[in-house]
């Protein structure tokens, strides 16, 4: 809703505006909505996995060293 044409605040703005622009050449690597979706999911999963691993190691460390 807050997307402004020609202004990019982040990668998602850039990608969504790229989807809106039709490609002149056939098969020229056109950006599709599926590409934007997969990129967003990759970023979300990558961020949550590293946080979960860090918290798991912190709990293990605290269990073995309660002092």
- 45 belongs to a structural domain: yes
Note whether 16 and 3 are within 8 A (CB). yes
Does the pLDDT value for residue 42 go beyond 80?
A: yes
Tally of domains in the chain: 1
Q: What is the pLDDT of residue 62?
A: 96
Q: pLDDT, tens digit, for every residue of 2-26? A: 777 778 787 777 777 877 676 655 5
- 4 belongs to a structural domain: no
Q: CB within 8 A of 57, min separation 6: which ones?
A: none
- 23 belongs to a structural domain: yes
Euclidean distance between CA atoms 37 and 67, whole angstroms: 45
61 confidence band (pLDDT: 50, 70, 90): very high
- 43 belongs to a structural domain: yes
Q: What is the pLDDT of residue 24?
A: 59
- Structural domain of 53: 11-64
Task: State the pTM of this model.
Answer: 0.49
The values of phi and psi at residue 30, to 5°, are -65, 140
Euclidean distance between CA atoms 50 and 4, whole angstroms: 32
Task: State both tokens at 26.
Answer: 């056939």
């Amino acid at each position: 809703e807050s997307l402004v044409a020609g202004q990019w605040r982040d990668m998602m703005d850039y990608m969504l505006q790229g989807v809106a622009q039709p490609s002149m050449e056939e098969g020229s690597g056109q950006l599709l909505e599926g590409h934007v979706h997969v990129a967003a999911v990759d970023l979300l999963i990558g961020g949550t996995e590293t946080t979960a691993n860090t918290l798991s190691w912190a709990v293990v460390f605290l269990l073995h060293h309660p002092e």
